[in-house]
Amino acid sequence: MGPIEKRINDILSEALSPERIEVINESHLHAGHAGGTPDGSGETHMRVRIITAKFDGVGRLKRHRMINELLKPVLDDGLHALAIEPAATGDNVRW
């Protein structure tokens, strides 16, 4: 786990007490693309999959906004892309 991956995991774990969280570095899938590195190394593109009771009764848009707000410092520090898959407890997830 790289430092940005760990930072994202730590921020979300502390704030949202998830029952399940996955932070996936997808930078290698974006080699040579805008915001990425020529060889796909580094931590420029991340995916977050998270299940937490804090999302129970909360709409999808608000869940995304909550995560974006929590991770604003990481985005401000240069994270190029963040894919978010938020779920409440009891939601059906495909992962």
Look at residue 49 in the predicted model and tell me its pLDDT. 98
Sign of the Cα pseudo-torsion (39, 41, 44, 45, in order): positive
Of residues 69, 63, 73, 65, the one with CA closest to residue 7: 73
pTM above 0.95, yes or no: no
Q: Domain extents for the chain?
A: 3-87
Residue 70 tokens read as: 């929590």
Domain 3-87 has CATH 3.30.300.90: yes
Q: What are phi and psi of 84, to 5 degrees?
A: -120, 130
Look at residue 24 in the predicted model and tell me its pLDDT. 96
Look at residue 41 in the predicted model and tell me its pLDDT. 59
For 37-92, write each residue's pLDDT tens digit.
555 557 888 999 999 999 999 999 999 999 999 999 999 998 989 999 999 999 99
| Side-chain half-sphere exposure of 61, counting CA atoms within 13 A | 0
Q: Is 5 exposed, middle or buried (0-12, 13-18, 19+ CB in 10 A)?
A: middle
